Structure 1
Amino acid sequence: MFIRKLESVNAFVAVDFAEVPGTGVARLAPKVLQNGAKDLARSMTYALALLERQETGISAGINAQPEERSSAVAAFAKEVASWDIDFNLTPGMGIETGELAALGIPLQNDLVAVSAVAAAMAAMPRAATAAVMGSGIALDVELASADLTIVKSSDPASATCDLLFCSSKVGAIDHLAAARLGCSVLVPTGPLPLTARAVAVCRQRGITALPDFITTAGPLIADRQQAITTAASFVTEFLNHPDGPFLGACEKAESFLAEWQEHLPFGRPMAP
C-alpha cells in the first residue's frame, strides 16, 4: 500500500498494488484522511480478488474548500488521466456525477442494495424482518421486493430482527456495539462497518457477519441479475466456513492474490 500524491492539486490516491490497473472511489472534503483512504482501497482489493480481477483497489482524496471544489476536481481528473496506468475512479462524497468522466465509467452504486439483499437472503433464506442503520431509496426498494418487514427502532443495532443492514460510518460496529446486536445476520451496505474485534464478537455470539466486500460488490459486477447470483453464491460458499464467512472470504481472496502478487497485502479489510 502506498500513497501517490498529485502535483497540480492537494490530492492523493491510495494504491494497494503498484503497476496494475485500479478501481475505486474518489472523495472530496476540506481534509480527506489518508488512513481512511487506505482502508477503503484494501476493501476494494479484496472485492476485486474475489471476482478474480487482476486489479488493485484504490481510493482517492481531494482536499479542497467549497469555493475551490470545481477547479480542484478538474485538476485532479486531468492529472490522473495523464498517468501511465489505468485508474477507474467513481465520484464519491463531495464529487458530482460526470466530473470524473475522464477516469472511466462510474460504478452503478444502486447495485449495492441488490448484492446486499441477495447476500442476506442467501445467508438466511427464511428471513422475515430487517432493521436498517442508514438509509437509501435503492435499499428500500430491494427490501420491499424481498418481502421483508422493516423493524423501526431508535437504535437499529439492538433491534430484534433477522437481518441488520448497516451503511453507517467506517467502524460503526465495534466490539461494544457487536455485544448488543439483536440481529441474526449483519449485512454491510457500506464499506468497513466492522472492526476486527466486532467480527470476533459476532462469531462468539452466533451472529453471521457478512463481508462488506461481498455485500457491496454489486457495482463491480455491473449487472443486476449477475450481482444477485454472484453475491448469493459467495455467501453460500463461505457461510459454513470453520472460522466464519468473513475469514473464509478473506482466504479465498488471498488465494487469488497469491497467484499474481509476490506478497499479500498486510492487513485484512476491517475497520481499525
Structure 2
Amino acid sequence: MEIKQLESTKGFVIYDLPNAGTYVGPTRLGAKLIPGNAEMLVRHQTYVFGLTEQQKSGATIGLKVDASDAEGAVVALAEELTDEFESQRLLTNPGLRLSEALLAPVLRHDKRNPIAKAERDGVTFEDELVALGAVTCASRFVKPNGTWKVAIEGFDQSGLAIAREVENHGGKVHRISTAKGCVSGDFDSSTLADTWMDSGADCVEKLGPVGKPWEIWNSDVDAVFVGSKPGAMSGDGATSTNDTPIIATSAAAISSKALAILRKNKVPVAADFLSRVGPTLAWWASEETSPDVLRSSTTETVIGLLEETVDHDDGPFMAACYKAEAFIESWQEKRPFGRPLG
C-alpha cells in the first residue's frame, strides 16, 4: 500500500496494489484525517475487484483541510493530479463531507457510465445495485418460505434501497437504527422513505418509541444488514444476534472480533465486498445497457459467487476472501497484508 502526500494542498492519496491500471475510491475531507483510518476502505474496493476478477485496485484521497477551505483544496487536487484523472488511472467519488458539486473539478474527467449516479426515487442506481446484492445474499441465507423480517443498522439512503429490495423479495423491515437510536415495528418502504427524506437520522423518532442503538442486534429477525461505518458490528453485537445471518453492506462494516465470534457460532456472514459488486458491473458497462440488464447481471453475479462460497468450511465471508485473494495473487507478486475488516 503506497501513501503519496499531495504537494499543492494538505492531503494524501492511498494506492493499494502496485502496478494497477486503474485505482478507484472515495475522496474524503477533514483536517484530522489520517491514512491509517482509511486503509480498510481502500482494501474493501480491492477485494471487490478481486471477486469480480478485475485487475484494478482500491484507492482513496484524503484532503486534510477544514470545510471552509474545501473548494480551494479540490481545485488544487484537480490540477496536481490532472494526468491521473484524465487518463482514468485514478477515479474517485464524493466521500466524507464532500458533494458532487464540490468535487466537480475532479469528477468532470470521470468517463464511467453515469447510470450509477442516476436518481431512482430518492436513491441512486448505485444504492439500488448494492441493495440488490445485499438482499440476494440475505435471501440465500434465510431461504424464506413466507414473510421474513429484517433489521437495518445505520439506516440512510442506502437503507431505504435495501428496504425496497427486501419488499421485492417478500420480506418486511422490522427494525432500523440511526445515530439517534433504534425503533421496531412493521415498516413499509414508503413510510421509511417519507420519514427519512423529511427527518434524516431523526426519522426513528417519527416511527415509534426510540430504544437504544444496540437493540438493533436483537435476534428476533431473520437477517441483519450492517453498514453505518467501519467496524459497525462489534464483538458485543455479534454475540447478541445469536445465529441470525449478517449482511455487511459498507466497507469493513464487520470488525475482526465480530467475525471471529460469528464464525465460531457458524453464523453465515455476507462480505461487504460481495454484496457491493453491483456498481463495478455498471461503471464500465456500455451506456446503452439498461438498468434492468444491470440488475440482472448483479443478481447473477452475486448468486454465482454465493454458490462458490456459501458452503465453505470456514464460512462464506472467509471463502469470499480466499476467492478474491486467489485472483489478486494471479497478477500481483504477493497478496497485500490485511483483510477488509473494521
Measured in 1, the distance between the counterparts of 2:41 and 2:109 equals: 18
**8 Å CA contact retained: 1:169, 1:193:** yes
Superposition map of 1:30-69 within 5 A: 30-69=31-70
Please list the CA deviations of residues 84-121 of structure 1 after superposition, one character each: whole Å capped at 9, or x if unmatched.
77011121222212523245237543121121112221
Q: Determine the structure 2 residue equivalent to 1:19.
A: 19
Measured in 1, the distance between the counterparts of 2:35 and 2:46 equals: 16
Q: Please state if 1:129 is matched with 2:129.
A: no
- State the one-letter code of the partner of 1:71: G
Q: Determine the structure 2 residue equivalent to 1:91.
A: 94
Q: Determine the structure 2 residue equivalent to 1:118.
A: 136
Q: Please state if 1:198 is matched with 2:258.
A: yes
Measured in 1, the distance between the counterparts of 2:261 and 2:55 equals: 33
Partner secondary structure for residue 262 of structure 1: coil
**8 Å CA contact retained: 1:19, 1:85:** no
- Answer with 44-53 or 139-148: which moved more: 139-148
Partner secondary structure for residue 206 of structure 1: coil
**8 Å CA contact retained: 2:238, 2:261:** yes
Q: Please state if 1:9 is matched with 2:27.
A: no
- State the one-letter code of the partner of 1:49: G
**8 Å CA contact retained: 2:28, 2:94:** yes
**8 Å CA contact retained: 1:23, 1:56:** yes
Q: 1:216 aligns with which of 276, 284, 302?
A: 276
Measured in 2, the distance between the counterparts of 1:112 and 1:168 equals: 14
Would the alpha carbon gap of residues 61 and 183 (structure 1) be closer, same or farther in structure 2, given more than 3 Å must change?
farther
Q: Percent identity of the aligned residues?
A: 30
Please list the CA deviations of residues 17-40 of structure 1 after superposition, one character each: whole Å capped at 9, or x if unmatched.
123221111111232221121111
Measured in 1, the distance between the counterparts of 2:275 and 2:133 equals: 5
Q: TM-score, normalised by structure 1?
A: 0.93
Q: RMSD in angstroms over aligned alpha carbons?
A: 1.9
Please list the CA deviations of residues 194-250 of structure 1 after superposition, one character each: whole Å capped at 9, or x if unmatched.
122211111122321111100122211212221122122212221100100111111
- Answer with 18-27 or 43-52: which moved more: 18-27
Would the alpha carbon gap of residues 46 and 11 (structure 1) be closer, same or farther in structure 2, given more than 3 Å must change?
same
- Answer with 214-223 or 48-57: which moved more: 214-223
Superposition map of 1:70-219 within 5 A: 70-83=71-84, 86-98=89-101, 99=104, 100-104=106-110, 105=112, 108=117, 109-110=126-127, 111-126=129-144, 128-135=148-155, 136=157, 137-152=160-175, 153=184, 154=211, 155-182=215-242, 184-219=244-279
- State the one-letter code of the partner of 2:172: T
Measured in 2, the distance between the counterparts of 1:142 and 1:33 equals: 36
Unaligned regions of 5+ residues in structure 1, if any? none
Partner secondary structure for residue 61 of structure 1: strand
Please list the CA deviations of residues 242-272 of structure 1 after superposition, one character each: whole Å capped at 9, or x if unmatched.
100111111111111111101110111111x
Partner secondary structure for residue 38 of structure 2: helix
**8 Å CA contact retained: 2:244, 2:267:** yes
Large movers: runs of 4+ above 6 Å: none
Partner secondary structure for residue 14 of structure 1: strand
Measured in 2, the distance between the counterparts of 1:164 and 1:5 equals: 39
Superposition map of 1:187-266 within 5 A: 187-222=247-282, 223-266=294-337
Structure (1 or 2) with the larger CA radius of gyration: 2
Give the total of aligned pairs. 271
**8 Å CA contact retained: 1:133, 1:166:** yes
Unaligned regions of 5+ residues in structure 2, if any? 118-125, 176-183, 185-210, 283-293
- State the one-letter code of the partner of 2:7: E
- Answer with 53-62 or 120-129: which moved more: 120-129
Please list the CA deviations of residues 33-69 of structure 1 after superposition, one character each: whole Å capped at 9, or x if unmatched.
2112111111111110111100111122112212111
